[in-house]
Amino acid sequence: MTKFFLLCIFFLLLSQSPLVAQGQDSLPSSPGAYGIIDTVIIAGNLKTKDYVILDEMTLKPGMVATEDAIEYDRNRVYSLGLFTKVGIYYDVVDGMRFLFVDVGERWYLIPVPLFGFRDGDPKRPYYGGGILHNNFRGMNQKIFGSIVFGHNPAISLSFSDPLIDRGKSLSLQADLSYSRVRSRSTVDAALTGAYDEIYYNAAVGMGKRFSLEQSAGLSIGFRAVKVSEPTPGRTVSPDGIDRFPVVGLWYTYDSRDLREYTAQGYFVSAYLWRNGFWGTAVDYSRWGFDTRSYVLLPWNLTFAARIHGTQVFGEVVPVYGHTFFGYAERIRGHFRTVLEGENMIGGTIELRYPLLKARDIYFDAVSLPPEFSVWRFGIGLALFADVGSTWFRGEPVALNSFLAGFGGGIRFLLPYSVVIRTEYGFDESWNGEFILDFRKTL
């Protein structure tokens, strides 16, 4: 069964990847053509600048508006996370052909009560609060400060601007953070007991958007990692604290329609991170990739596939630099099983059906602020199969080292891009488990 899942994931994903599927457009052809667009009119954006919306759309003046292209752009604009509703309509008025974009804005400056589950695990609750400006100056800039208690307490401050220089399509990201994380290493904890890792991070990054789908960037930062119980291997430095610069390069291709529950499009990302400098105590690099394909099938079905992996090279990798399944990444059917290594690879295939397509529900009869008068709901069904493995350098990678699982479930899409997944998974021996997950879907 493991071999079957592996072959399916690799073959199906590679056959649908935008890097292999030559001649395929990111938008499917549509028989529902309305006509050529003369002018695009934006309405309802009391704070958001017009260009924030226009830059996310594929349709421009002089192009032919089609039913599929309009729906695609509607989902792309909604995925900005700035609006409670997005409507796009084509109309002809006095001989002029208009594309009307009507949006309803979310509440942007809000105190944020923080509650959730680390890595989607209900046994790892956290709570706290923060202040978020989700659309500073109406330019999709985000400023966020927070303090979190419970599992893995943390303090953070961040700023991002997806278009700090519109003429050159440049973006900016800056972060400061402190966090105390219970070590995820089950191997180390089994030998010496549980301990904490304390992280201090500062980073700034610059990116460039080459097109609607493609962007790349560079990040430079500094990190200090301290362990509560110093032991050889937990840090590279013998005193139990590592201090080192971090430099990263990244690339992203993203043509997905609706980010929270994608029906069609592609996503490809790759990165290279350098930890420390050559010859310093911390001296290793990590590269990785994540590629996803979403193909719209007849009867409103969607086939989704993902393959992702990461590998290290260089000198000694401390315990906090290991990779894991069982936390942020999971193998359903082995949802609570932890796999640990320096390298990892995993894959997923899903077949989805929208039992209730994401739709806006209006509460006009209730006295609510405009930002909360439109709520978006949806329900989806899915069948899935997962596979994955981790390994340390020098270890052989064999098919029998992979874990695999399969099953099905129901996903609930809630307002403000919240997703709840209720699923039931089986392992290779048909042992079953119920899964409640609060992360976004594949």
pLDDT of residue 308: 96
Q: What is the mean pLDDT of residues 274-303?
A: 91
pLDDT of residue 420: 87
Q: What is the mean pLDDT of residues 130-134?
A: 85
Location of each CATH 2.40.160.50 domain in the chain: 183-437
- Tell me which fold the domain 183-437 belongs to: Porin (2.40.160)
Residue indicated by tokens 């021996």: 429
pLDDT of residue 336: 87
The most confident of 8-17, 55-64, 130-139, 356-365, by mean pLDDT: 55-64
The most confident of 30-34, 53-57, 367-371, 399-403, by mean pLDDT: 53-57
C-alpha 23/C-alpha 21 separation (Å) is 6
Higher pLDDT, 258 or 148: 148
Is the pLDDT confidence value at 351 over 90?
A: yes
- Three-class secondary structure of residue 381 per DSSP: strand
Chain-centroid distance of CA 12 in Å reads 21
Q: How many residues comprise the chain?
A: 442
- Three-class secondary structure of residue 104 per DSSP: strand
pLDDT of residue 357: 80
Location of each CATH 3.10.20.310 domain in the chain: 31-105
pLDDT of residue 126: 81
> Average model confidence (pLDDT) for the chain?
84
Q: What is the mean pLDDT of residues 231-253?
A: 91
Beta strands in 343-402 (DSSP E): 343-362, 374-391
Q: What is the mean pLDDT of residues 250-255?
A: 94
pLDDT of residue 388: 95
Q: What is the mean pLDDT of residues 398-427?
A: 88
Q: 185-193: long-range contacts at Cβ-Cβ below 8 A with a sequence spacing of 24 or more?
A: 185/319, 185/322, 185/340, 186/338, 186/340, 187/340, 188/231, 188/233, 188/234, 188/319, 192/229, 192/231, 193/229
pLDDT of residue 222: 95
Is the pLDDT confidence value at 89 over 70?
A: yes
pLDDT of residue 120: 59
Residue indicated by tokens 């972060």: 175
DSSP H or E segment with residue 188: helix 186-192
Is the pLDDT confidence value at 136 over 90?
A: no
Is the pLDDT confidence value at 366 over 60?
A: no
Is the pLDDT confidence value at 111 over 90?
A: no
In contact, 152 and 182? CB cutoff 8 Å: yes
In contact, 88 and 74? CB cutoff 8 Å: yes
Q: How confident is the model at residue 22 (pLDDT cuts 50, 70, 90)?
A: very low
CATH fourth-level superfamily of 31-105: membrane protein fhac (3.10.20.310)
C-alpha 295/C-alpha 286 separation (Å) is 31
C-alpha 278/C-alpha 314 separation (Å) is 9
The string of pLDDT tens digits covering residues 167-213 is 888 999 999 999 998 888 877 777 777 788 999 999 999 999 998 88
Residues 6 or more apart whose Cβ sits within 8 Å of residue 78: 86, 258, 376
C-alpha 263/C-alpha 79 separation (Å) is 13
pLDDT of residue 364: 55
pLDDT of residue 244: 94
Both structure tokens of 113: 């009560």
> Which range, of 114-118, 225-229, 395-399, averages the lowest pLDDT?
114-118
Which DSSP letter does residue 10 get?
H
35 dihedral zone (left: phi>0; alpha: psi -120 to 50; beta): left
Is the pLDDT confidence value at 266 over 90?
A: yes
Higher pLDDT, 277 or 384: 384
Q: What is the mean pLDDT of residues 52-59?
A: 91
C-alpha 66/C-alpha 36 separation (Å) is 9
C-alpha 341/C-alpha 275 separation (Å) is 18
- Smallest Cα–Cα separation from 438: which of 425, 424, 412, 419? 419
In contact, 201 and 223? CB cutoff 8 Å: yes
The string of pLDDT tens digits covering residues 292-338 is 999 989 998 999 999 999 999 999 999 899 999 988 899 999 998 99
> How large is the C-alpha radius of gyration of the chain?
23
